[in-house]
């Protein structure tokens, strides 16, 4: 039984939330408690399967699952094997990202039980599970067209969730901007997929990688054009700087836990960017130019995120701009890692930069997620988002202020928590490329500390405002979800070696080494 | 588009044409593995038949008979049939969505090579998936247009 | 030269769509611009599959003696285009529903007048 589950685990991880998402409207007509319990069971089942699959993949190597048959290949009469079926490829980096998505969905679902009320809540949970399916599909797929389809599933359900409550029309405005920009990005991903299909007659990522890397004379013009389109579209969806305009609007107007779940969604697009750069196009690109481009994108994101966050007066919008800055850190580290890739095998500093960057993906979701959860609790209880009208909330919301303090220390990168563990790796590793990058990164962290200490003092400390004197207690489910996130953050901060050795280093090795990826798909010829 | 729909002549002609359009869409869905067509294409034709009804009779009258909650149940059933067929393929044969209906009496024959009219009874699980997708698309698209028509007439959504 | 004509049409269609999204103020026109870009990308995908003197890729309709992979147009881009059309319908339905709600809240369809989320 366990063996069957483990063999079919990649498709069951996607099929279980999808099946539940379509059963929920039928059960909703009978009872609402049954609907809640069924959604929770689906997410817990996915989480357990994900942990089992991740353990198996990190010990035993890449897993390939073919839909519809036993063998992914079809032998042409000339003896050449071409991969034709839809495949799901799980290696250590996919396992890492899938753990992030399912963990955040569990925490988000617990939080959503507390504050989603009114008519139409059955549709809320259906869209939530569809968003989870989109994320898991993007992180486990093996070919480019499935990546486009799951990207569109993710964007459409996120847009519908952001616009769930019509509060005087502002979330609808944020959501229409989101869906127009994100649909444009997805169309350009499809255009690039069409270009690559027309050039090489292949859609499978492993087979494409082997064709592109074995071509003499560098990249053709069509492949270069496709790469630029893919880089621009995926960094738009990941929220990096010149294309970040949709991010503060969308994060600022989403209800409660959806902001946290959207952060996990943007990390899935970041994963797709890493796949395109490191696995498909590995050293066929000019590493100094593309690495330099990623470093510049990261620096501009950090700068814009931090300086725009200084002048905000809306609580959730400010945390959204901080999220832009955190994505800048990841792009900076990945750019330095790609820059060092050309020096023979990866030199020591390049490997450390990639470890810091990949670890920071997990820490970014945890830290910004915790801050969004606390902000959601504040907005649910006081119905105010303006920082000028909030004050002195520590008396009535004791536990929430403690969790906000933990989130603040983690985002700023101070020692006992997980933000320090990944940021110290990034600072050390990017010092070798140029000391100026390190200085800018450390300065940005200090600015973030200043911003969030300002918010903490103005929202929680100080005299209690008369308009906020009797607000109800925070619901227990919200406090439980915040406690789960804080517990994980403290564990990562106190024992970073354990996580880096067991989760992050296999992921970085799988990312850099595309030879194993290619030979496990096209191998056996 | 007034509240009561269009005039009496249009309503009579539409009531004659609606079954023809619906049968045409069922033909496209069901013969999807022999001729061009399939789930989404037939579903779109069926949804345009329902939209023709909405335009002719007015959204309030159609909402009394085919409300969007019933459409939602129909749509969920279509999606469930799709995923359950895939899961049965996983349990009975090798992997998800594997073709386990070949050589069985239900949709199991294999047509000959060369030019021939094709057999309706062939195709494995493809006709089943076509029917499931067709149900979902007809219900989904007509529910969308019904809700938009109700919202523009000033009713609560 | 004449076989390259659909590719030129794709570039012109996508350029027109981008111009509409960037420079027009009415929300319905922006939704139309998204649909025009979708049509351009679908045309591109279909055109990729054409092979010279190819027939429709249905096994049971081919006359005798057509070479099996080379006498047909490619069927894979047709599946990609169909999926893209379905996704386009879903996105268009969502955008139009948002426009209906925005029109009910603000009473106008001009994006310059209804902008509340600044900075």
pLDDT per residue over C100-116, tens digit each? Answer: 999 988 888 888 888 87
Confidence of residue C66 (pLDDT cuts 50, 70, 90): confident
pLDDT at residue number A225: 93
Residues A174 and A158 sit within 8 Å (Cβ to Cβ): no
Residue B2 has pLDDT above 60, yes or no: no
Subunit contact C116:A169, Cβ cutoff 8 A: yes
Residue A344 has pLDDT above 70, yes or no: no
CATH of C2-56+69-106, one of 1.10.287, 3.30.720, 1.10.357, 2.60.40: 1.10.287
Residues A358 and A364 sit within 8 Å (Cβ to Cβ): no
Confidence of residue A77 (pLDDT cuts 50, 70, 90): low
pLDDT at residue number A350: 83
B19 touches chain A (CB under 8 A): no
Q: Percent of chain C at pLDDT above 70?
A: 99
Q: Which chains touch A (3 or more CB pairs under 8 A)?
A: B, C
Q: Using an 8 Å CB-CB cutoff, list chain A residues near C45.
A: 190, 194
Subunit contact A156:C80, Cβ cutoff 8 A: no
Q: Using an 8 Å CB-CB cutoff, list chain A residues near B69.
A: 29
pLDDT at residue number A22: 92
Subunit contact B141:C100, Cβ cutoff 8 A: no
Confidence of residue C22 (pLDDT cuts 50, 70, 90): very high
Mean pLDDT over all residues of chain A?
Answer: 88
Which residue from C61, C63, C96 is facing B148, i.e. has the nearest CB? C96
Subunit contact C87:A169, Cβ cutoff 8 A: no
pLDDT at residue number A466: 76
Tokens at C117, concatenated: 């989320």
Residues A238 and A270 sit within 8 Å (Cβ to Cβ): yes
What sign has the CA pseudo-torsion C54, C35, A144, A345? Answer: positive
pLDDT at residue number C7: 93
- CA angle at residue A43 from A42 to A48, to 5 degrees? 100
Lowest mean pLDDT among A151-165, A378-392, B122-136, C60-74: C60-74
CA distance A500 to A359: 7
Strand partners, A73: A83
Q: Where are the domains of chain C?
A: 2-56+69-106
Which residue from C60, C97, C100 is facing B118, i.e. has the nearest CB? C60
Q: Using an 8 Å CB-CB cutoff, list chain A residues near C100.
A: none
Angle between helix A398-412 and A418-431 (nearest 10): 10
Average pLDDT of span A65-73: 78
pLDDT at residue number A182: 94
Q: Which stretches of chain C sit within 8 Å of chain B by CB?
A: 56, 58-64, 82, 85-86, 89, 93, 96-97, 100-101, 104
pLDDT at residue number A345: 58
Q: Rounded to 5 degrees, what are φ and ψ at A70?
A: -85, -40
CA distance B24 to B27: 5
Which residues, 6 or more positions from A118, have their beta carbon under 8 angstroms from its beta carbon?
none
A405 touches chain B (CB under 8 A): no
Q: Percent of chain A at pLDDT above 70?
A: 97
Which of B79, B95, B151 would best serve as a mutation to test chain A binding (most A beta carbons within 10 A)?
B95
List the one residue out of A247, A240, A53, A17 whose CA is nearest residue A134: A17
* Secondary structure of A243-295 as H, E, C letters: HCCHHHHHHHHCCCCHHHHHHHHHHHHHHHHHHHHHHHCCCCCCHHHHHHHHH
Residues A263 and A323 sit within 8 Å (Cβ to Cβ): yes
Tokens at A285, concatenated: 């690109």
pLDDT at residue number A458: 86
pLDDT at residue number B157: 45
pLDDT at residue number A230: 94
pLDDT at residue number A241: 86
pLDDT at residue number A103: 94
Which of C56, C57, C60, C94 would best serve as a mutation to test chain B binding (most B beta carbons within 10 A)?
C60
Confidence of residue C119 (pLDDT cuts 50, 70, 90): low
Q: Using an 8 Å CB-CB cutoff, list chain C residues near B40.
A: 82, 85-86
Average pLDDT of span B101-120: 80
CA distance A504 to A92: 9
Q: Where are the domains of chain A?
A: 1-107+118-169+179-233+265-282
pLDDT at residue number B98: 84
pLDDT at residue number B78: 92
Residue B155 has pLDDT above 60, yes or no: no
CA distance A519 to A515: 6
pLDDT in tens, B19-57: 999 999 999 999 988 888 888 999 999 999 999 999 999
> What SS3 state is found at A76?
coil
List the one residue out of A252, A371, A384, A236 whose CA is nearest residue A320: A252
Average pLDDT of span A296-310: 92
Which of the pair, B152 or A328, is modelled with greater confidence? A328
Q: Rounded to 5 degrees, what are φ and ψ at A463?
A: -70, 150
Subunit contact B151:C104, Cβ cutoff 8 A: yes
Residue A398 has pLDDT above 90, yes or no: no
Residue C83 has pLDDT above 90, yes or no: yes
Residue in A closest to B98 by C-alpha: A68
List the one residue out of A185, A184, A277, A167 whose CA is nearest residue A227: A277
Measured in residues, chain A has a length of 525
Which of C28, C40, C41, C114 would best serve as a mutation to test chain A binding (most A beta carbons within 10 A)?
C41
pLDDT in tens, A491-508: 999 998 888 888 899 998
Residues A339 and A291 sit within 8 Å (Cβ to Cβ): yes
pLDDT in tens, A17-34: 999 999 998 888 888 888
Which residues, 6 or more positions from A99, have their beta carbon under 8 angstroms from its beta carbon?
A50, A51, A54, A503
Q: Using an 8 Å CB-CB cutoff, list chain B residues near C64.
A: 114-115
Which residue from C59, C82, C96 is facing B40, i.e. has the nearest CB? C82
Confidence of residue A394 (pLDDT cuts 50, 70, 90): confident
> What SS3 state is found at C26?
strand
Residues A277 and A338 sit within 8 Å (Cβ to Cβ): yes
Which of A19, A64, A66, A164 would best serve as a mutation to test chain B binding (most B beta carbons within 10 A)?
A19
Q: Strands A87-90 and A63-66, how do they pair?
A: antiparallel
Confidence of residue C45 (pLDDT cuts 50, 70, 90): very high
Residue A464 has pLDDT above 90, yes or no: no
A61 touches chain B (CB under 8 A): no
Which residue from A15, A66, A69 is facing B83, i.e. has the nearest CB? A15
Average pLDDT of span A100-129: 89
Residue pointed to by tokens 């709600």: C101
What's the start-to-end Cα distance of chain B, in Å? 18
CA distance A335 to A287: 9
What sign has the CA pseudo-torsion C49, C55, C56, C58? Answer: negative
Subunit contact C86:B40, Cβ cutoff 8 A: yes
CA distance B47 to B37: 15
Residue pointed to by tokens 């353990």: A55
CA distance B1 to B56: 9
Which residues, 6 or more positions from A298, have their beta carbon under 8 angstroms from its beta carbon?
A240, A328, A329, A330, A331, A332, A333, A334, A335
Strand partners, C46: none
CA distance A8 to B93: 12
pLDDT at residue number A80: 65
Question: What ipTM was reported for this prediction?
Answer: 0.95
C109 touches chain A (CB under 8 A): no
Average pLDDT of span A476-487: 91
Q: Percent of chain B at pLDDT above 70?
A: 96
pLDDT at residue number B156: 44
């Amino acid at each position: 039984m366990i063996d069957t589950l483990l063999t079919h685990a990649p498709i069951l991880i996607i099929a279980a939330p999808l099946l539940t998402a379509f059963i929920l409207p039928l059960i909703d007509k009978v009872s609402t408690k049954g609907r809640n319990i069924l959604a929770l069971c689906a997410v817990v089942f996915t989480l357990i399967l994900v942990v089992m699959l991740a353990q198996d993949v990190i010990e035993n190597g890449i897993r390939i699952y073919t839909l519809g048959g036993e063998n992914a290949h079809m032998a042409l009469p000339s003896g050449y094997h071409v991969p034709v079926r839809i495949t799901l490829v799980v290696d250590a980096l996919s396992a890492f990202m899938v753990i992030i998505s399912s963990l955040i969905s569990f925490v988000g679902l617990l939080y959503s039980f507390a504050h989603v009320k009114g008519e139409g809540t059955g549709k809320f949970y259906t869209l939530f599970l569809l968003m989870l399916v989109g994320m898991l599909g993007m992180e486990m797929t093996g070919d480019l067209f499935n990546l486009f389809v799951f990207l569109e599933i993710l964007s459409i359900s996120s847009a519908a969730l952001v616009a769930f409550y019509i509060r005087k029309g502002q979330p609808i405005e944020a959501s229409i901007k989101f869906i127009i920009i994100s649909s444009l990005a997805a169309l350009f991903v499809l255009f690039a997929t069409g270009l690559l299909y027309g050039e090489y007659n292949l859609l499978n990522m492993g087979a494409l990688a082997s064709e592109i890397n074995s071509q003499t004379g560098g990249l053709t013009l069509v492949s270069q054009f496709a790469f630029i389109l893919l880089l621009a579209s995926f960094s738009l969806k990941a929220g990096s700087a010149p294309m970040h305009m949709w991010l503060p609007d969308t994060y600022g107007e989403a209800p409660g836990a959806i902001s946290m779940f959207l952060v996990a969604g943007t990390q899935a697009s970041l994963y797709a960017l890493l796949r395109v750069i490191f696995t498909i196009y590995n050293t066929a690109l000019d590493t100094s130019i593309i690495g330099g481009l990623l470093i510049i994108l990261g620096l501009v994101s950090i700068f814009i995120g931090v300086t725009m966050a200084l002048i905000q007066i809306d609580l959730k919008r400010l945390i959204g701009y901080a999220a832009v800055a955190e994505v800048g850190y990841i792009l900076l580290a990945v750019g330095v890692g790609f820059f060092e890739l050309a020096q023979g095998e990866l030199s020591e500093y390049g490997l450390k930069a990639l470890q810091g960057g990949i670890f920071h993906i997990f820490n970014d979701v945890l830290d910004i997620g915790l801050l969004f959860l606390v902000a959601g609790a504040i907005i649910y209880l006081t119905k105010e988002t303006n920082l000028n009208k909030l004050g002195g909330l520590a008396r009535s919301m004791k536990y929430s202020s403690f969790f906000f303090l933990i989130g603040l220390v983690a985002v700023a990168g101070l020692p006992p928590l997980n933000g320090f563990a990944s940021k110290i790796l990034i600072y050390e590793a990017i010092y070798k490329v140029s000391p100026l990058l390190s200085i800018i990164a450390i300065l940005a962290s200090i600015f973030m500390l200043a911003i969030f200490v300002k918010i903490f003092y103005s929202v929680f400390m100080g005299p209690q405002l008369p308009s906020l004197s009797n607000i109800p207690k925070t619901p227990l489910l919200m406090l439980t979800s915040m406690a789960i996130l804080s517990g994980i953050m403290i564990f990562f901060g106190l024992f970073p070696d354990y996580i880096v050795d067991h989760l992050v280093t296999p992921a970085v090795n799988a990312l850099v080494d595309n030879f194993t990826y290619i030979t496990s798909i096209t191998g056996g010829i | 588009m007034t509240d009561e729909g269009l005039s009496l002549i249009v309503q009579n002609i539409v009531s004659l044409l609606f079954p023809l359009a619906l049968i045409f869409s069922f033909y496209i869905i069901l013969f999807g593995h022999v001729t061009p067509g399939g789930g989404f294409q037939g579903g779109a034709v069926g949804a345009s038949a329902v939209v023709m009804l909405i335009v002719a009779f007015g959204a309030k009258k159609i909402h009394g008979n085919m409300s969007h909650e019933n459409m939602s149940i129909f749509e969920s059933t279509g999606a469930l049939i799709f995923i359950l067929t895939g899961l049965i393929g996983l349990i009975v044969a090798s992997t998800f969505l594997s073709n386990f209906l070949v050589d069985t009496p239900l949709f199991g024959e294999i047509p000959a090579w060369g030019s021939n009219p094709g057999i309706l009874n062939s195709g494995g699980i493809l006709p089943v998936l076509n029917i499931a997708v067709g149900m979902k698309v007809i219900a989904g698209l007509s529910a969308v247009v019904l809700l938009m028509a109700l919202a523009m007439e000033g009713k609560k959504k | 030269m004449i076989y390259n004509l659909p590719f030129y049409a794709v570039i012109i269609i996508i350029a027109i769509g981008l111009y509409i999204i960037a420079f027009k103020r009415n929300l319905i026109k922006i939704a139309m611009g998204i649909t025009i870009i979708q049509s351009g990308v679908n045309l591109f995908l279909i055109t990729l599959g054409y092979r010279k003197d190819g027939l429709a890729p249905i096994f049971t309709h081919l006359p005798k003696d057509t070479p099996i992979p080379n006498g047909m147009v490619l069927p894979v881009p047709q599946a990609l285009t169909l999926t893209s059309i379905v996704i386009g319908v879903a996105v268009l339905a969502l955008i139009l529903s948002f426009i209906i709600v925005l029109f009910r809240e603000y009473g106008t369809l001009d994006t310059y007048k209804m902008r509340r989320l600044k900075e």
